[in-house]
Amino acid sequence: MQMTMRWFGTGYDTVTLEQIRQIPGVTGVITTLYGTLPGEAWEREAILALKKDAEDAGLSVAGIESVNIHDAIKTGAPERDKYIDNYITTLERLGEAGIRLVCYNFMPVFDWTRTDLARKRTDNSTTLAYNQKLIDSLEPGALNDSISSQSKGFVLAGWEPGRLGHLKELFELYRGIDREKLFANLEYFIERVMPVCGKYDINMAIHPDDPAWPVFGLPRIVTGKEDLLRITGFTGDTHHGVTLCTGSLGTNPANDIPGIIRTLKGRIHFAHVRNLRHNGPGDFEECAHLSGDGSLDMFAIMKAFHDIGYDGPVRPDHGRAIWGEAAMPGYGLYDRALGAAYLNGLWEAIEKTAPGG
Ligand code: DNO
């Protein structure tokens, strides 16, 4: 596996490439053109400049997270083909630049959803948290306002104000879109992008829904093993695969994550590895990566990746805010660097104790 770190780009991230380069074992970044909106064809020059920034700092671009999907594609609107054409253009340009991994999601309206961006923990760190009761008491617009007021001036990934400024219209677009339609629209999209992925050897890696259940009555189709098997079953082309995000799948305690990893052997192209703590039904908070701090067994998870011969990029995922760091919620340097060091340690131990290791 390749240990990587998410980096939002110069001007967007408080963490620098020089800092990332000094985290032991981190050799690449997962990045994006953060200023773009879903549906745009990415400029060749901008892609090459992003790549040069990373490479000048001694890091590879291990993948893009995300090239976001326009709502017309998710809803199967008549103009979807125009946006899929733009997506294909972006993939061609990424492929020409030698980038071989694209992470995306197919969540309607809201990407990952939290109610709290700075819940205080007993050690005085703060963390991202979710409470279903609070969601149930809010209108979508009120959640959006609450998230932007808590985000310390940062735009959170997938929460573009330009798009979410039109929430009413967005919800209107999804009227009548149920799980079956969403599956069909995803399948249509995958069929159309597979040829260009084949040509440039680009792996598409769908990200699970976070949390792994419907929010505000909007359907979600990437919530657990059955969904993931159905989705990967659209085609035998292995360029169509999954981002195995332990934090997203782990929101549902019924998801057996090591089991899912084993089932998806050969179709996992990217891994987000983090822990979370369940406080009760529908209430969870993100914690340190360490198994003992949360509800997930990180050793069992890393062991499952090792057992299937996973050799793609891994990144530590959201971190707590610690040591007074001011950063984008979930994406400071310190706790994620601790996470990377811990995951590297687990991996080394697993490798050295494996039969023949
Ligand atoms: C949040 C992330 C998500 C993820 C997208 C993938 O921190 O896990 O925004 O990047 O859902 O498209």
User: Quick check: CB of 328 below 6 Å from ligand 1?
Assistant: no
Note the pLDDT of residue 92.
98
Q: What is the pLDDT of residues 289-335, one digit of tens each?
A: 999 999 999 999 999 999 999 999 999 999 999 999 999 999 999 99
From the candidates 317, 334, 335, 342, which is the catalytic residue? Answer: 317
Q: Do strands 276-280 and 2-6 pair parallel, antiparallel, or not at all (unpaired)? A: unpaired
**Omega within 30 of 0 (cis) for the link into 66:** yes
Amino acid identity, position 111: D
**Which residue has a Cα nearest atom 8 of ligand 1?**
112
Amino acid identity, position 125: S
Taking phi over 0 as left and psi of -120 to 50 as alpha, with beta for the rest, 76 belongs to: left
> Is 12 annotated as catalytic?
no
User: Quick check: CB of 157 below 6 Å from ligand 1?
Assistant: yes
**Residues near 124 by beta carbon (within 8 Å), at least 6 away in sequence:** none
> Is 245 annotated as catalytic?
yes
Burial class (CB in 10 A: 0-12, 13-18, 19+), 78: exposed
Q: State which H helix or E strand residue 290 sits in.
A: none
**Residues near 233 by beta carbon (within 8 Å), at least 6 away in sequence:** none
Q: State which H helix or E strand residue 333 sits in.
A: none
Domain that holds residue 85: 2-353
Cβ atoms of 62 and 100 closer than 8 Å: no
Which stretches within 243-333 are classed as H helix?
246-249, 257-263, 298-307
Q: What is the longest distance spanned by two Cα atoms in the chain?
A: 58
User: Quick check: CB of 103 below 6 Å from ligand 1?
Assistant: yes
- Separation of 352 CA from ligand 1 center, angstroms? 32
Cα separation, 248 vs 100, whole angstroms: 23
CATH number, domain containing residue 300: 3.20.20.150
**Residues near 256 by beta carbon (within 8 Å), at least 6 away in sequence:** 225
Note the pLDDT of residue 236.
98
Q: Which atom of ligand 1 is nearest to the CA of 272?
A: 8
Sequence length of the chain is 357
Mean pLDDT per 10-residue section of the chain, whose length is 357 residues: 97 96 98 95 98 98 98 98 98 98 97 96 98 96 94 91 90 96 98 98 98 96 98 98 98 98 98 98 97 98 98 97 97 98 98 90
- Separation of 3 CA from ligand 1 center, angstroms? 18
Note the pLDDT of residue 244.
98
Report the number of distinct structural domains present in the chain.
1
User: Quick check: CB of 111 below 6 Å from ligand 1?
Assistant: yes
Cα separation, 36 vs 59, whole angstroms: 23
Which stretches within 115-209 are classed as H helix?
132-136, 140-150, 161-164, 167-173, 179-200
Note the pLDDT of residue 206.
99
Cα separation, 311 vs 102, whole angstroms: 16
**Would you report the helix, strand and coil content of the chain in percent, each value rounded to 5?**
40, 20, 40
